[in-house]
Amino acid sequence: MPSMLIDKEAFLRKLDRIPDLPTLPVVAFKVNKMLMDDDVNVRKLSETIEKDQAMVSKLLRLVNSAFYGFQSKIDNISHAITILGFSTVRNAVVSISVVDAFSGREAFEEFSLSDFWKHSVAVAVTGRQLAQRSRLAVPDEVFVAGILHDVGKLVLAQHYQELFRDVWIAVQDEGLSFHEAEKALLPVDHAHIGGVLAAKWHLPEKLVEAIAYHHAVGTAENNGNAVMTVSAADFLVHRFWSEKKAGDRPEPDQPAAEALAAEIESADQWFPGVAAEIEQACSFFVEAVN
Ligand SMILES: [Fe+2]
Ligand SMILES: [Fe+2]
């Protein structure tokens, strides 16, 4: 295995200067900012979303998909906001935007974008379920954190292809998990990179933290519960769902394993129900990248 040659500061400086790092579309920025203001209302939010017709059609397709399971058709954005609430709509807009932002870009050749998003969607759906069961975190926040948790891997696969290749080879040849290989070879891990990107995008602090610390749960300061839930979901997906066992977490992080012990222990009973939900969510999100 090649030794780690790259200096952390230099790596982070380069990351900060990548000119074509994906940006969030204007609509996601605005929606996100609005949710931080106190005087947001249904009309203002729907007018903002309606300025982006591509987003309108994707959002309506998502909320009408089997994943949300509403009986009657939701045919406009204000209706969607009334039924789902501000934060669910914000999280859906952010999720759709992020999946879009990274699609159609060149990456390390063995990296499969659709497998990547399947994993992320699986962690999002499982995390939401874990949050509902444990009441440890807000289900919807965990969902969007799950979608985004490994986004740093995409930055590596698309912008640091050589380094990504080294990590990839170490995983194949030495039987390491992705995260173990990355810790041996890179100055920062994908969690840190994802956190940098989420902060650049001005996503809420909580979300930035849930991404940045998902492999070091014990060091998260403010948002321990959401990050623990994401971490436990990542572990459960690795154990029960990944077809190729290609996840990066063979063991749960200790604090998450303790806080969610009951839910993890009973997962072989409830996970099969979640698997169906994962498929439904994949057929929306993953279809978007193909
Ligand atoms: Fe990860
Ligand atoms: Fe993951």
Q: Give residue-wise pLDDT tens across range 174-206.
A: 888 888 999 999 999 999 999 999 999 988 888
Measured CA to CA, the distance from residue 120 to residue 177 in angstroms comes to 17
User: What residues does the ion ligand 2 have nearby, CB within 5 Å?
Assistant: 150, 234
| CA 185 to chain centroid | 23
C-alpha of residue 179 to centroid of ligand 2, in Å = 9
Nearest ligand to the C-alpha of residue 146? Answer: 2
CA distances from 183 to 80, 151, 165, 187, 215 (A): 43, 17, 14, 7, 11
C-alpha of residue 147 to centroid of ligand 2, in Å = 9
C-alpha of residue 243 to centroid of ligand 2, in Å = 14
Q: String of b and e for 97-112 (b: at least 16 CB within 10 Å)?
A: bbbbbbeeeebbeebe
Residue-level pLDDT at 60: 94
CA distances from 136 to 106, 110, 142 (A): 38, 37, 10
Q: Which tokens sit at 203?
A: 């996503």
C-alpha of residue 231 to centroid of ligand 1, in Å = 8
C-alpha of residue 53 to centroid of ligand 2, in Å = 31
Measured CA to CA, the distance from residue 33 to residue 5 in angstroms comes to 39
Measured CA to CA, the distance from residue 95 to residue 281 in angstroms comes to 11
CB 103 within 8 A of CB 289: yes
Nearest ligand to the C-alpha of residue 179? Answer: 1
C-alpha of residue 77 to centroid of ligand 2, in Å = 31
Q: Which tokens sit at 159?
A: 């912008």
pLDDT tens over the chain, length 290 residues:
555 567 899 889 999 898 888 888 889 989 988 888 778 899 999 999 999 999 999 999 999 988 888 888 999 999 999 999 998 898 899 999 998 888 888 888 888 888 999 999 999 999 999 999 999 999 988 999 999 999 999 999 999 999 999 999 998 888 888 889 999 999 999 999 999 999 999 888 889 999 999 999 988 887 689 999 999 999 999 888 875 545 567 788 889 999 999 999 999 999 999 999 999 888 888 876 55
C-alpha of residue 175 to centroid of ligand 2, in Å = 17
Give the model confidence (pLDDT) of 219-261 as tens digits. 888 768 999 999 999 999 988 887 554 556 778 888 999 999 9
CB 245 within 8 A of CB 238: yes
Nearest ligand to the C-alpha of residue 210? Answer: 1
Q: Taking the CA atoms of 177, 134, 66 and 144 in sequence, report the sign of the dihedral they define.
A: negative
Measured CA to CA, the distance from residue 71 to residue 89 in angstroms comes to 18
CB 2 within 8 A of CB 57: no
Residue-level pLDDT at 243: 58
Measured CA to CA, the distance from residue 263 to residue 201 in angstroms comes to 33
C-alpha of residue 40 to centroid of ligand 1, in Å = 34
Measured CA to CA, the distance from residue 222 to residue 118 in angstroms comes to 28
For the chain, how many residues are written?
290
C-alpha of residue 39 to centroid of ligand 2, in Å = 36
C-alpha of residue 150 to centroid of ligand 1, in Å = 5
C-alpha of residue 14 to centroid of ligand 2, in Å = 24
Q: Where are the domains of the chain?
A: 23-104, 107-289
- Note the pTM of the prediction, 2 decimals: 0.91
User: What percent of the chain has pLDDT above 90?
Assistant: 55
Residue 138 backbone dihedrals phi, psi, to 5 degrees: -75, 120
C-alpha of residue 249 to centroid of ligand 1, in Å = 7
User: What residues does the ion ligand 1 have nearby, CB within 5 Å?
Assistant: 150, 248
- Residue owning tokens 């956190």: 195
Mean pLDDT, the chain, whole residue set: 89
Q: Which tokens sit at 26?
A: 């204007």
C-alpha of residue 209 to centroid of ligand 1, in Å = 13
CATH of domain 107-289: 1.10.3210.10
Angle ∠(262,268,273) on CA atoms, nearest 5? 105
Angle ∠(206,221,214) on CA atoms, nearest 5? 65
